[in-house]
Amino acid sequence: MQFKDIIGQEQIKAQLVQTVAENRVSHAQLFLSSEGSGALPLAIAYAQYINCVDKQGDDSCGACSSCRKYERYIHPDLHFSYPFFASKDARIAVDLIDEWRGMLLEDPYFDMDIWRSKLNAENKQANINIAECHDIIKKLSYKAFEAETKVLIMWLPEYLDREGNALLKIIEEPPANTLFLLVANNQEQILSTLLSRTQIVKIPKLPHETIENYLTERHGMPEEQAVEYSFLADGNLIEAKLLLANTQNGNADKFAEWLRMGYGNRVLELTTFVDQAAGWGRENQKNFLKYGINFLRECSLLLSDAEVLVKLPARTLDTAKKLSEKVLDLPMAEAIIQELERAHYHIERNANPKILFLDVSLQLVKIIKFKTLPKGTQYIYN
């Protein structure tokens, strides 16, 4: 994978190239980002650039023997470690290397849910077990076969339990010309002993404009719809691609009308809406609820006099302003967000959508129309 194949992150790419040019490549680095920001593709492109025999000014050549093997993820000095579901047929990560390579070749932007769908998870918990740690130590103790630098890319070290302490010595005192690249989403879940031995590279979310351009230029999406999808994805390219796969759209209009029904206490219309929402399918229901959560967070910024931070398209911004001026106050917005987050949680766990959307609709009436906050919720009014 080359840097040019990665969406956005130009500043990070330049920073990584510069570390190689100035011979400042730390032997253990943690690429820390939120999901869908491209941390894993960046780590792979970085490793390819380091081992490229004909480096260009800002990228690997893509044509040398090393690059060609990196492009197919079959270079003998490129090793991967990742969470998996241990079984008699999959004791260590390399036992699933064909599935892993297939996943990367299909699309290097994926999360744990997508990876889990490619495996036989049954009821097991994914982790990076002690057998995998011992295998890492074993294969990194060998001399490099072809490249100058052996590379281990560990995806989601959060799945290392205390067994991960077995890796501390080799990370602190690695064999010559060995590079550890850890790719993580949640710093708090990583072993502190492991965290203290790595140099952290923070990778920001993708800007909304980057995702908009990706959707319009690569997928021919109309600009207005791309703006809505980029807002819903919130810097997560994986989420944007999932939205592409689910054609249900118009969330902005549907959500605004839902709020109007609640404000008008239009119960018959709400029951009709509930019937429609129940037939959307789980992913579209989740997307709708997530849109509502994001929209109300933007309304909360308006209510907090922070309009400069709001990232809504013009038409939706006008709706948000009217809502914030005439209907909502901050405690109400926070209460509705809480209801939507709870609904999203239960939809993911296969709750009955008809009952769920009816309950949330009635809560909207209570909060918006009658200004009654959920019991047990504490708010301080000005």
Instruction: Reduce the DSSP state of residue 84 to 3 states and report it.
Output: strand
SS3 category, 201: strand
Locate all alpha helices (DSSP H) within 198-352, ordered by sequence. Answer: 208-213, 219, 223-233, 237-245, 251-264, 267-278, 282-303, 314-326, 330-348
The rounded percent of the chain whose pLDDT value lies above 70 is 95
Q: Look at residue 219 in the predicted model and tell me its pLDDT.
A: 84
At 248, the pLDDT band (50, 70, 90 cuts) reads very low
The pLDDT of residue 261: 94
- Please state the separation of Cα 70 from the chain's center in Å: 24
Q: To which residue do tokens 């998996």 refer?
A: 84
* Predicted local distance difference test score (pLDDT) of residue 247: 45
Residue 243: what pLDDT? 74
Q: What is the pLDDT of residue 381?
A: 42
pLDDT digits (tens, 9 = 90+) for 36-65: 899 999 999 999 999 999 998 889 999 999
Separation of alpha carbons 180 and 106, rounded Å: 24
pLDDT band at 245 (very low <50, low <70, confident <90, very high): low
Q: Are 32 and 200 contacting, i.e. CB atoms less than 8 angstroms apart? A: yes
CA 229 to CA 316: how far, in whole Å? Answer: 13
Angle at the Cα of 258 (from 257 to 259), degrees rounded to 5?
90
Number of H helices, E strands in the chain: 18, 5
Predicted local distance difference test score (pLDDT) of residue 376: 58
**Residue 289 and residue 344: Cα distance in Å, rounded?**
6
Q: What are the tens digits of pLDDT across the range 71-92?
A: 999 999 999 999 988 888 889 9
Dist CA 229 CA 242 (whole Å) = 10
Q: What does DSSP assign to residue 161?
A: -
Q: Is the per-residue pLDDT at 378 higher than 70?
A: no
Q: Read off the pLDDT of each residue in 83-103 and give the average, rounded to a whole number.
A: 90
CA angle, corner 139, sides to 133 and 143, nearest 5?
Answer: 145
Centre a 10 Å sphere on the Cβ of residue 22 and count the other Cβ atoms it contains: 8
Compute the mean pLDDT over every residue in the chain, rounded to the nearest whole number: 88
Q: Give percent above pLDDT 90 in the chain.
A: 53
Which pLDDT band, with edges at 50, 70 and 90, does 382 fall under? very low
Q: Which residues contact 15 (CB under 8 A, 6 or more apart)?
A: 201
Return the structure tokens found at 35: 């999901």
Q: How confident is the model at residue 379 (pLDDT cuts 50, 70, 90)?
A: very low
- Give the tens place of pLDDT for each residue, 284-304: 788 789 889 988 998 999 999
The answer, yes or no, to whether residue 324 has pLDDT greater than 60, is: yes
Q: How many CB atoms lie within 10 A of CB 163?
A: 16
Question: For residues 243 and 24, what is the distance between their CA atoms, to the nearest angstrom?
Answer: 40
The whole-model pTM stands at 0.71
SS3 309: helix
